[in-house]
Structure 1
Amino acid sequence: MAPVAALAQAYDEVVELDPISVEQAEAVSDATTIVATTTAAGSGMPTDILNTASSVSIITEKEIERRDATTVEQVLQYTPGISTDYYGRDDRFDYFKIRGFDAYLYRDGLLVGENFGGVREEPYAFERVEVLKGANSTAFGVSDPGGAVNFVTKTPTGERLRNGYLTYGSFNHKEIGFDMGDRIDEAGTLSWRFTGKMQDAEAETDYSNDDETFFMGGLAWRPSAATSLTIVADYLYRDGYPNSSGYPAGLDFERDLFLGEPDFNYLDTDRKTVTAKFDHDFGNGLTFGSTARYSDTKSGFGYVFLGSITSLADTTVSRYYFADEGSTRDFVADAHLMYETAFGAFESRTLGGIEFRDTSDESKLWYTAAADIDWTNPVYTGGLDLNNTTPYQHTLTDTQTQSVYLQEELTYDRFIANLGLRHDWIQIEQTDYLYGTQASGDYSETTGRVGLTYRITDGLSVYGSYAESVVPASVGIEPERGKQYEIGVKYRPAGMRALFTASVYDLTKFNMTVTNPNTLLEETIGEANVKGFDLEAKAELTDRLSVTAGYSYLDSEILQSDNGIYDGNQLGSVPRNSGSVWVDYLVPGQGAFGDLNLGLGARYTGEYFRADDNASKTDAAVIFDAAISYNLTDQTQLALNVQNLLDEKHVAQGGFTTDYYNAGRYVSLTLRHAF
């Protein structure tokens, strides 16, 4: 300060300077931005996305809310490399593929199961959704080579949180939700969070309902900066409908026409889950982490689907009852140590751990003929009494998995090397109650991964990687294996919150089995390959303008199939070209007027074959979505969201005997308030 004092004396006057305060920048929450900067999806270790030698897309809480994404499919449909909506309005499962293949789901790094055939997750439970693209069983465990999805659960933060909303929408949709939390003691060692939603709704098809109840409570104990214990319990109940039952192929019908049976049209989910997470920092670079989860699920559906047209002149079509009833108990636990150190010019992070999973899954399936129906004058004949009908399949499958894994991240100057190795011991026992038989299988699988990243500048990196995957199949069938080669570039410009990525890949899946969408039965394909590239941009260009955009090119080919009948075909439900863009523009409020936010999105899906036989094809389509929100006050917002703005209609799946249309226009009005 001496030169300033001398200068002031020279001019014989006193100069007073404004106070200068220096504050540490706070981490940006996923609730306030669409651009995430870190992830644990690539290696299990928290890492800057630019340092991860794999393609990772993150959908934050803000983006989920802005687009009013109420299903996992809607959360993912603006992410490049992911195909959605190829089953139309079918609410049984979350239908999506990553880079041409079905995906496995994880929650907080622990396996949940497959998306096809699994429970439809509730997006309001999560603060972010991470998409790891490509084969990578070393990160979390079993997965298909196309990629995996990891849900990150909302947990107590120790900060005051009071959010609530009311929604009314199309098809008599009524919904109320809340997300609240706070500290219990003044020191903040104990904190809580309570999240929930209740939904009473119908769907676009006659005789359908779409009801849901979801509650999640969490308690966190942080006795010191080095130790934390979090326990979260949640309950999910759904009383919905499976699907529209379909429409006779080749004709055009209104979406609300129902050709099933009102008394046999249900989709039930009842799941209870408890998760515990413990972390401790021993100091000197050594930390311990452990997560365990137990879930108990009862689920089932029943509906009537259409067969072939029995008489075009009489406008009648054949029908069949189809029902599923299942119960699953699942326990999974992971424990790991991470050690960070430096030696010479090298920095090292090492993660080693073990995992145990025990799953018991009982399943019953029914299938029998129903009466024909006239689609011009439907006369319903009643439901099916499952108690007096013999199922065609009744099995109990017990699976135990023990795993050990090791991850290494080594940094030298601007080079970052990632190495991963995992070994899984899998024991499967299956009981067939109909035939009174038992079968078992033991599998021992090792998967690896290697990646190299070069940070060209602080905001630009390039990478290359090789990764393997494995999925245990049924008893007596070899596990499905995969491998992928990938190179990519990532750019995060200075002075702007943005991330631009591009990747090129070549992946192959071996011993492949798929579910035929026409017969709903598993078929052995053998081997398939997908080559392609993804482009993605997420950018908050200014305080007013933000953009999410992506494009994918996927060239799929079945290399080996049963008796060679599909060799050379493309994979079903995998478009070669797809792209999306979502733009948000903020009009700042003035005077008595609040902020106005305008959002518009477009999703392009190129033509695709509906099944691996390549017998029928769905044409390309563009679907628009829109969002308008207005801040009534600083704490209150009114939002209008429209999905499928122009009510685009096409056959998403079909061509055999039955067509299924994509979901029609849906409008919702939501009032949000922060207390």
Structure 2
Amino acid sequence: MKQPLLQKKYLIIACSAVLASMGIQAQEHNDQEQSVEQTSGLVSVLPTISVRADSDQATTEHSQSYTTKSMSTGTRLALSMRKTPQSVSVISRQQIEDRNFVSLDQAMELAPGITSSTRNLNRVSYTARGFAFTENMVDGMPSMADADAGFTPNLAFFDRVEILRGAAGLIYGTGSAGGAVNLVRKMPTATPQASINLQRGSWDNYYSEFDVSGPLNKDATVRGRFVAAYQDRENFIDLEYTRKPAFYGIVETDIGDKTTVFLGTSYEKMNSNIAPGGLPRYRNGDDLKLSRSSRGMAPAWNYWDGENTTIFSGLKYNFNPDWSLRLAANYQDRNQQGNAINVRGAVDPVTSKGPQYPAFEDSYSSDRRMAFDAQLSGKFSLFNQTHDIVVGTTLSKIKGTENWARKGSRPVSDDTIFGFDPYGVKRPVLGPKVDSLTLSTFRNVGAYTTLRLSITDDLKVITGARLSSIYDDIKNRSTGIVTKRKQTNELSPYFGIVYDLSSTLSLYTSYSDIFTPQNTRFTRQGTPLDPVVGANYEAGIKGEFYDGALNTSFAVFRIDESNRAYLDVEAPCSGSPDLGACYIAEGKVRGEGYEFEVSGELFPRLETSMGYTHVNTKYIKDKTNEGKAFRSTTPENLLKIWAKYQLSGAWSDWSIGAGVNAQSSTYNTSGALKIEQSGYALWSIQAGYKINQNWNSSLSINNLFDKVYYQRLGTEINGNRYGEPRSVMLSVRGKY
């Protein structure tokens, strides 16, 4: 079991008494560093020995833990998970390495209550408690680090993944009420270190990663880190492949005793062959029972390429031990190019025909995002108690999509989906580049504050709010029409209470919300609808044991999403800007249930991550769907367990791991059709071996029993995607 920092300090104090009798004195330089020095001639030679503790309680690298002692996702305050009055989880660096995770979509499979779905062009979307996630953040700032166009972030760049479930209006501003994901970058280290990770898996899946970090000058006031990774993998779907080189570099400098600045960049490139759209079904909704390797009717020449460049910088200034200022800036440039052949159509059970090719279009798009954040945080004393406060402002701007397209004739195939030859469809002859679609500018401006009041030693009240304004200018290139939309001065409040029952257990309750503009829909008076508001109500109990090495939580929750639009059938609104349709913002949906989570060192040498979520979703107010399930593709019951045990004694070089992801049945509706999938469980096992002091190896088997299931349940037209069959992964990792 990990030894707490407090126990280390007591050990040094006890040892100092013994050392004093030998003419050796223990010196304490600060809270993190102690040394022992010779004070008499009793010992002829004794070098100085330093014992230094990591002052960053949030960093998970080298912690060998499945949890963290501090995180700010949720309130912007650096609090332990027990002190945060909302459901939060962390995927630590140890978990990432133990499971050989490469990208964010893999790590999200560990998080309690999270379901994922692969959409067109290999985009991955996430939901929690029946509601979608907002875009991802990086280091607490809005970022294009999402899975758009297959760009799932490479985890080689990051120390951990912090996940908030429930409305995230305080930290993000606008979006859905499912939650938010915050990826926290690796930072340079003051001591030299290097690591290498080599993987070989099923379907010719190769991955290599190199990470080096350390001081760049004698005093370690300048530090740097460089990460390089490359993935070359086929897929279980015929002809699909992905090639992804990735690079990350950062330099950090101390300017005096109070100021630290950093500058970094990352670059990711992707070349891929894809089978977009997924598989169709029979017209009556029955399964075609195709092979999991089937690419439907996607031609062999389908492709989707892209690149993502990020430049980021920041500054932290410590006024004193209690107050600090942090400035951060982020710039991203993302380009994508490829075709989007998405064959649609149900299959006739008699002729086996039905899916049709659209007109062909080879397209290109570019998005640029700039973000800035300024944050002042500190402590102050009032009524004999110490309180915490954060005040800040953010600005985010996205400029895109700049599209051109080269159009061609409609692809033709006489094959049915059962006898389809992906090489038998000729690639259309492309015409010249033409402008298409739109050019848009989106701005999100916000100011926020969080105040943590210590009412008593055991009772804490956290209150805060974010004031957001959204501006969106869209230009239609073909018509020249510019549409301006805005939502100004929207307030997203936050309120939480934490009461300590003991030194390890806390009761909590909280309220948070988030809004989503719906400026494209109008009332019968011709005015835009009020924004959709997603409100999260939550209460529970959290535990923190073994000096933070183990975290537990139990929560009951309710998410209400109000002001949802539905058609105003009594007002056709022929003059409405929204194609003649009028709407009423009175719809309401709800997700409610309970959740249990355990993460960290459950017993000596046993690290675990366990989560169970029960949720029901339904339409509370809707003209046609009232009483029905709102998100029927979200399982009512979701269980996720992973545990790794380090053997002892003669077997201490070995570790074993096992886990399961299990969910109850789900269904999707398409008109009168109901497409169902029964519940299933996916088991994984792993064996690890310590080769020597620097090298470790592991062998993993995922989907151990080769369960056939749909990772995404679509409709009879398309969108059905099989989950990955049984796969094997061998990993060798070295650290110096």
TM-score in same-fold range (> 0.5): yes
The structure with the greater share of residues assigned to strand is 1
Residue 7 of structure 1 aligns with which residue?
none
Q: Which moved more, 1:569-578 or 1:627-636?
A: 569-578
Distance 1:302 1:572, change over 3 A: farther
Residue 481 of structure 1 aligns with which residue?
533
Offset of 1:621 from its aligned partner? 0.8
C-alpha distance in structure 1 between counterparts of 2:668 and 2:434, whole Å: 32
Residue 11 of structure 1 aligns with which residue?
none
CA contact (8 A) 1:286 1:339 kept: yes
Select the residue among 508, 512, 521 that pairs with 1:463. 508
Distance 1:386 1:490, change over 3 A: farther
Amino acid at match of 1:298: N
Offset of 1:299 from its aligned partner? 1.8
Residue 498 of structure 1 aligns with which residue?
550
Distance 1:406 1:550, change over 3 A: same
Which secondary structure state, in structure 2, belongs to the residue aligned with residue 615 of structure 1?
A: strand
Select the residue among 444, 447, 451 that pairs with 1:401. 444
Amino acid at match of 1:509: E
How many equivalent pairs are there? Answer: 647
CA contact (8 A) 1:274 1:293 kept: yes
Amino acid at match of 1:257: S
Distance 1:300 1:169, change over 3 A: same
C-alpha distance in structure 2 between counterparts of 1:513 and 1:631, whole Å: 58
Q: Which moved more, 1:499-508 or 1:364-373?
A: 364-373
Amino acid at match of 1:508: D
Offset of 1:662 from its aligned partner? 1.3
Select the residue among 133, 138, 154 that pairs with 1:107. 138
Which secondary structure state, in structure 1, belongs to the residue aligned with residue 96 of structure 2?
A: helix
Which secondary structure state, in structure 2, belongs to the residue aligned with residue 252 of structure 1?
A: coil
Which secondary structure state, in structure 2, belongs to the residue aligned with residue 75 of structure 1?
A: helix
Which secondary structure state, in structure 2, belongs to the residue aligned with residue 210 of structure 1?
A: strand
Deviations 1:513-535 (A, max 9, x none): 89xxxxxxxx9994311111110
Which secondary structure state, in structure 2, belongs to the residue aligned with residue 489 of structure 1?
A: strand
Normalised by the length of structure 1, the TM-score is: 0.89
Select the residue among 670, 676, 685 that pairs with 1:617. 676
C-alpha distance in structure 2 between counterparts of 1:581 and 1:573, whole Å: 21
Select the residue among 378, 397, 421 that pairs with 1:339. 378
Amino acid at match of 1:433: R
Offset of 1:261 from its aligned partner? 3.8
* Aligned: 1:252 with 2:289: yes
Which secondary structure state, in structure 2, belongs to the residue aligned with residue 297 of structure 1?
A: strand
Deviations 1:183-238 (A, max 9, x none): 01121110000012011221111121111010000000013442111112000111
Offset of 1:298 from its aligned partner? 0.6
Offset of 1:240 from its aligned partner? 2.1
Distance 1:587 1:156, change over 3 A: same
Residue 440 of structure 1 aligns with which residue?
484
Which secondary structure state, in structure 2, belongs to the residue aligned with residue 73 of structure 1?
A: helix
Which secondary structure state, in structure 2, belongs to the residue aligned with residue 304 of structure 1?
A: coil
Select the residue among 61, 64, 76 that pairs with 1:44. 76
Residue 213 of structure 2 aligns with which residue?
181
Deviations 1:366-387 (A, max 9, x none): 8996434323432321234564
Q: After TM superposition, list the pairs within 5 Å mapping 1:546-625 onto structure 2.
A: 546-561=607-622, 563-565=623-625, 568-588=628-648, 590=650, 595-610=653-668, 615-625=674-684
Amino acid at match of 1:420: G
Which secondary structure state, in structure 1, belongs to the residue aligned with residue 437 of structure 2?
A: strand
CA contact (8 A) 2:166 2:178 kept: yes
Residue 394 of structure 2 aligns with which residue?
355
Residue 8 of structure 1 aligns with which residue?
none
Residue 416 of structure 2 aligns with which residue?
374
C-alpha distance in structure 2 between counterparts of 1:225 and 1:463, whole Å: 38
C-alpha distance in structure 2 between counterparts of 1:589 and 1:383, whole Å: 63
CA RMSD of the aligned region, Å? 2.9
CA contact (8 A) 1:334 1:354 kept: yes
CA contact (8 A) 2:169 2:492 kept: yes
Offset of 1:461 from its aligned partner? 0.7
Offset of 1:174 from its aligned partner? 1.8
* Aligned: 1:218 with 2:278: no
Select the residue among 422, 425, 428 that pairs with 2:472. 428
Select the residue among 562, 579, 597 that pairs with 1:510. 562
Offset of 1:112 from its aligned partner? 1.8
C-alpha distance in structure 1 between counterparts of 2:402 and 2:518, whole Å: 16
Offset of 1:268 from its aligned partner? 1.8
C-alpha distance in structure 2 between counterparts of 1:18 and 1:619, whole Å: 73
C-alpha distance in structure 1 between counterparts of 2:548 and 2:373, whole Å: 37
Select the residue among 204, 215, 226 that pairs with 1:172. 204
C-alpha distance in structure 1 between counterparts of 2:520 and 2:184, whole Å: 32
* Aligned: 1:653 with 2:694: no
Amino acid at match of 1:377: G
Identity, in percent, stands at 20
C-alpha distance in structure 1 between counterparts of 2:220 and 2:380, whole Å: 31
C-alpha distance in structure 2 between counterparts of 1:430 and 1:395, whole Å: 7
C-alpha distance in structure 1 between counterparts of 2:132 and 2:708, whole Å: 25
Offset of 1:313 from its aligned partner? 4.7
Which secondary structure state, in structure 1, belongs to the residue aligned with residue 513 of structure 2?
A: strand
C-alpha distance in structure 2 between counterparts of 1:221 and 1:25, whole Å: 21
Deviations 1:263-317 (A, max 9, x none): 4422222010011121001116321011110000012453433433555455444
Amino acid at match of 1:573: T
C-alpha distance in structure 2 between counterparts of 1:361 and 1:421, whole Å: 30
Q: Which moved more, 1:189-198 or 1:469-478?
A: 469-478
Select the residue among 49, 58, 79 that pairs with 2:90. 58
Residue 191 of structure 2 aligns with which residue?
159
Q: Which runs of 5+ in 2 are unaligned?
A: 1-20, 27-33, 35-50, 282-286, 522-527, 567-581
Residue 229 of structure 1 aligns with which residue?
261
Offset of 1:425 from its aligned partner? 1.6
Amino acid at match of 1:142: T
Select the residue among 295, 301, 304 that pairs with 2:332. 295
Select the residue among 59, 65, 83 that pairs with 2:115. 83
Distance 1:183 1:612, change over 3 A: farther
Distance 1:398 1:244, change over 3 A: closer
C-alpha distance in structure 1 between counterparts of 2:670 and 2:631, whole Å: 5
C-alpha distance in structure 2 between counterparts of 1:186 and 1:395, whole Å: 53
CA contact (8 A) 1:557 1:569 kept: yes
C-alpha distance in structure 2 between counterparts of 1:332 and 1:605, whole Å: 38
Residue 94 of structure 1 aligns with which residue?
124
Amino acid at match of 2:617: S
Distance 1:131 1:288, change over 3 A: same
CA contact (8 A) 1:570 1:609 kept: no
Amino acid at match of 2:314: K
Normalised by the length of structure 2, the TM-score is: 0.82
Which secondary structure state, in structure 2, belongs to the residue aligned with residue 602 of structure 1?
A: strand
Offset of 1:556 from its aligned partner? 0.4
Q: Which runs of 5+ in 1 are unaligned?
A: 1-15, 515-522
Offset of 1:61 from its aligned partner? 0.7
Distance 1:584 1:369, change over 3 A: same
Residue 277 of structure 1 aligns with which residue?
314
Q: Which moved more, 1:43-52 or 1:290-299?
A: 43-52
C-alpha distance in structure 2 between counterparts of 1:245 and 1:405, whole Å: 40
C-alpha distance in structure 2 between counterparts of 1:350 and 1:396, whole Å: 40
C-alpha distance in structure 2 between counterparts of 1:611 and 1:469, whole Å: 28
C-alpha distance in structure 2 between counterparts of 1:306 and 1:237, whole Å: 27
Offset of 1:244 from its aligned partner? 6.2
Offset of 1:493 from its aligned partner? 2.3
Which secondary structure state, in structure 1, belongs to the residue aligned with residue 293 of structure 2?
A: coil
Offset of 1:559 from its aligned partner? 2.7
Offset of 1:246 from its aligned partner? 3.2
CA contact (8 A) 1:244 1:260 kept: no
Distance 1:671 1:81, change over 3 A: same
